[in-house]
Amino acid sequence: SSKEAQEHLGLTKEEIKSSFLENLFYRIGRIPPLASNLDLYSALALAIRDRAFKQFVKSTTEIARKNAKSVAYFSAEYLPGPHLGMNLLNLGITTETRQALEELDIKLEDLLEEEVEPGLGNGGLGRLASCYLDAMATQGIPSVGYGIRYEYGIFKQEIKDGWQSEATDKWLHFGNPWEVVRPEIAYEVKFGGKTEHGQDFNKELHVEWIPDMKLKGTAYDTPVLGYKGNGIIMRLWRSEAIESFDFSAYNGGDYYRAVEKKIRSENLTKVLYPNDENLSGKELRLKQQYFFVSCSLQDILHLHMLQNRSLETLHEKFTIQLNDTHPSISVAELMRLLVDRHDMEWERAWDVTRKTFAYTNHTLLPEALETWPVSLLGHILPRHLEIIYEINSRFLHELRDSNFSGEQIASMSLIDERGEPSVRMAHLATVGSYKVNGVSALHSMLLKNQVLSDFASLWPEKFSNVTNGISYRRFLAVSNPGLSNLITEKIGDGWYTRLDDLKKLENFVEDEEFQQKWTEVKLENKKVLACYIQEQTGISVAPEMLFDVHVKRIHEYKRQHLKVLHILSLYLRIKSGNGNEIAPCAFIFGGKAAPGYFMAKRIIRLITAVGERVNNDPEVNSKIKVVFLPNFSVKQAQKVYPAADLSEQVSLAGKEASGTGNMKFALNGALTVGTLDGANVEICEEVGEENFFLFGLTTAEVEAVKAEGYRPYKLYEENARLREVLDFLVSEELSGGDTELFRPIYENLLQQDPYLLLKDYESYINCQDHIHEVWRNKKEWTKKSILNVANMGKFSADRSIRDYCEEIWKVEPVRVS
Ligand code: 26M
């Protein structure tokens, strides 16, 4: 009857095959002999998308029937990665589909390669949002992921003459078979203009916002399947012109100007801002944030009222999670909708609002905390600025009543008055939410004790921690079939959804046959990556080398350049004939730099320069290789993690909120070299210190060093070997004559070194020597690798989502079979 159930859903091999052929013929307009791989992929994707939507419809019907509480996840970014492989896994039809295609002489793997992923995010934050949709769907949590349908996602990175160059990401160029546009689901969004305060016929105060620009947002839905059962949607908004609005220019004969207006409306969701952890106060960015927030809130109110519910019970039926402050203008927008549009009293509306939102903070870096100049915000959202002022004035009153000092009150205010007056979005989100959480134990502690400490003393129960998690189904089951199958052979496939199942692997740590197979799988994955590297960069790496991998956004706090200093130290050691202890290893880097981030781009240039030197020097290139893989993405990441031996997680303690790459590596059996930062702390705790390569200062030590007055130049003077490495940065040998090329990095490290590379250098180098020693003992290494995987249960996104449900959302699953 499992067969019967499959037939009912159209999931048998025969049905997949006929549906695939039908889609190819009727929707793509091709027959197999004349179809390209892209045609074939598109037809298969359409067939699978239909089945995914069917699951979503079933889930939604059940949720409505139960009148269940839902989660709305608000995120300006998503990085879903390729859909096809995941959807096949979730529908349980990977094998059936492979066979159906084989009968037509088509290889599933070839079609999977065709998929272009939606790069609608910068990095960790966007990918986390997608992992959470996956976990919410799997657990049957009534939920929707709201966001922006950028026409151009994160830029495509190319390396030209060693430098990063950016090209536009035309991800929609060949169409997007996974989404469905809903022209009937559209909302108006206003911008600019002024407000008018007056009385309505009941003599109640009433505010009218008279905008100078209006546009509409249209919903584009993409199904997100859970594992075997439920389905949810990601609803992304695209901006369009309201033809009726100001199309009077057309009637006046100025057709051209009217069309120009239309184009300007479409500009709003044209492109994703490629910055992470940094902000520039760009008007268009604020408009994007407000646009998606307004559409999403209107949609939620509409859905709520559709069920004949009163808006006063909004918080009982919806909870809205703010993914960082990017959607935090929500607080003012919901107030506006309730008060101005639905005539709710201020106090009542404020009560509902504060019970609806919860806010996740993702960063402590001061330069990354969002603020908007009051003048800009007032210009674009005049009514919202008034509302923010009103919220603030009531809030500051409260503070005066509870004995905060004048200084504290100024530092807690929603408005920063020290320079150009600006709105502190983290404060707005904190005041307007019922819960605030950080993303790892360490980060949440620092959030509570430093960045938002006054708020935490005012509302201690508001603050909590939810340690980040990742999708095991994407980052192990789909991306590493070799290891997945080996694990499943031993312990069954319960680990797909049960956190603690992986623990059963501990029983096999001493099993020599298992160890053997474990290393074989890793070697096989390394061969595949070596081919890919060869193809992408022309560099050949031997699969037997230690694959030492550093992939993530390029940022000074993440310290890619600390890794470079290590590589240079090895280079100099080998050149001076002292390299015998060094195991052959390949250093693999990947990651994008924000296009305007000078130092990050220099660091990429440094990596490629070191690569050129090292890879072409016969004295060293049998020992070490250096690779920069261009255009790191989810799709590429799925090839990289399974092949890594060593995972580099070397940020300065206290700077990385959590990190999630660290989890993806460890889940694939890489050992970690890392600082006590972000979730590294918890990973180390779970896998055991003896299976983790720790180095560097702790957060407390970092603070002490800074308090003492850190002088990196002194370390340069004292440590001859470090000096040799640093001087090599500005040598003719490295830069091919242009000794100015890396001087900015050199000067920065010697003069300021804000991320304490020189301070952590010694500890890092010693740790790496130790790593090479352990690597020589293959058996030891393999055991540690197995133990890492066995103890990763905690870092499943399924656990994170359970934490959110229990501690924050108070939402229950609604399951369908
Ligand atoms: C802000 C303003 C204007 C334009 C872009 C931004 C912006 C975009 C993305 C700022 C920050 C953005 O992302 C930050 C991020 O990815 N943070 C990471 O979040 C992960 C998930 O919690 C953590 O694991 C990482 O430690 C944290 O750096």
- Copy the structure tokens of residue 128: 């986390």
Residue listed under structure tokens 């440094």: 606
Q: Are residues 436 and 520 in the same domain?
A: no
Q: Is the CB of 798 under 6 A from ligand 1?
A: no
C-alpha of residue 362 to centroid of ligand 1, in Å: 6
- Which atom of ligand 1 approaches the CA of 468 most closely? 22
Q: Is the CB of 428 under 6 A from ligand 1?
A: no
**Could you tell me if residue 122 is inside a domain?**
yes
C-alpha of residue 370 to centroid of ligand 1, in Å: 11
- The complex's ipTM? 0.98
Q: Are residues 515 and 409 in the same domain?
A: no
C-alpha of residue 132 to centroid of ligand 1, in Å: 15
Are 75 and 123 within 8 A, CB to CB?
A: no
Are 676 and 699 within 8 A, CB to CB?
A: yes
The beta-strand segments (E) located in 630-740 are 646-649, 671-674, 693-694
Are 439 and 659 within 8 A, CB to CB?
A: no
**Could you tell me if residue 291 is inside a domain?**
yes
Clarify whether 319 is annotated catalytic: no
Q: Are residues 464 and 509 in the same domain?
A: no
Q: Are residues 396 and 524 in the same domain?
A: no
Q: Is the CB of 125 under 6 A from ligand 1?
A: yes
**Could you tell me if residue 177 is inside a domain?**
yes
Q: Are residues 371 and 437 in the same domain?
A: yes
Alpha carbon nearest to ligand 1 atom 24, residue: 659
- Which atom of ligand 1 approaches the CA of 553 most closely? 16
Q: Mapping DSSP to helix (H, G, I), strand (E, B) and coil, where does residue 28 land?
A: helix
Q: Are residues 446 and 536 in the same domain?
A: no
For residue 788, which amino acid is it? Answer: N
Residue 170: CB partners within 8 Å, gap ≥ 6?
Answer: 152
Q: Is the CB of 122 under 6 A from ligand 1?
A: yes
Q: Is the CB of 439 under 6 A from ligand 1?
A: yes
| Pairing mode, strands 585-590 and 546-551 | parallel
Clarify whether 342 is annotated catalytic: no
pTM over 0.95: yes
Clarify whether 497 is annotated catalytic: no
Which of these is catalytic: 424, 553, 561, 613?
553
pLDDT score for 279 = 66
Q: Are residues 588 and 694 in the same domain?
A: yes
Clarify whether 553 is annotated catalytic: yes
* Helix (H) / strand (E) containing 658: none
- Copy the structure tokens of residue 445: 């502690």
pLDDT score for 594 = 97
CA distance 90 to 9: 13
pLDDT score for 499 = 86
- DSSP for residue 796: B
Q: Is the CB of 321 under 6 A from ligand 1?
A: no
Q: Are residues 522 and 665 in the same domain?
A: yes
Q: Are residues 454 and 574 in the same domain?
A: no
CATH of the domain at 383: 3.40.50.2000
Q: Are residues 422 and 313 in the same domain?
A: yes
Which of these is catalytic: 51, 149, 238, 552?
552
For residue 682, which amino acid is it? Answer: E
**Could you tell me if residue 741 is inside a domain?**
yes
Q: Are residues 303 and 433 in the same domain?
A: yes
Which of these is catalytic: 660, 672, 675, 699?
660
**Could you tell me if residue 29 is inside a domain?**
no
CA distance 427 to 618: 57
Residue 438: CB partners within 8 Å, gap ≥ 6?
Answer: 360, 361, 444, 445, 446, 447, 448, 465, 466, 657
Alpha carbon nearest to ligand 1 atom 21, residue: 125
Q: Is the CB of 657 under 6 A from ligand 1?
A: yes
C-alpha of residue 657 to centroid of ligand 1, in Å: 9
C-alpha of residue 125 to centroid of ligand 1, in Å: 5
Q: Is the CB of 438 under 6 A from ligand 1?
A: no
**Could you tell me if residue 540 is inside a domain?**
yes
Clarify whether 664 is annotated catalytic: yes
- Copy the structure tokens of residue 389: 């002022």
Dihedral sign, Cα of residue 605, residue 606, residue 609, residue 614: negative
Are 423 and 379 within 8 A, CB to CB?
A: no
Dihedral sign, Cα of residue 267, residue 268, residue 269, residue 274: positive
Dmax (CA) of the chain: 91
C-alpha of residue 643 to centroid of ligand 1, in Å: 26
Q: Is the CB of 436 under 6 A from ligand 1?
A: no
Q: Are residues 578 and 647 in the same domain?
A: yes
**Could you tell me if residue 481 is inside a domain?**
no
Q: How many domains does the chain have?
A: 2
CA distance 83 to 145: 16
- Can you give the residue range of the structural domain that contains 197? 67-82+117-468+802-809
* Average pLDDT per block of 10 residues along the chain, 817 residues long: 64 96 97 96 98 94 95 99 98 97 98 98 98 98 98 98 98 98 98 94 87 97 95 98 68 78 91 84 94 98 95 98 98 98 97 98 93 97 98 97 93 97 98 98 98 97 98 98 98 95 98 98 98 98 98 98 98 96 97 97 98 97 98 98 99 98 98 98 98 98 98 98 98 94 98 98 98 98 98 98 98 90
**Could you tell me if residue 46 is inside a domain?**
no
pLDDT score for 262 = 84
Clarify whether 228 is annotated catalytic: no
CA distance 253 to 238: 28
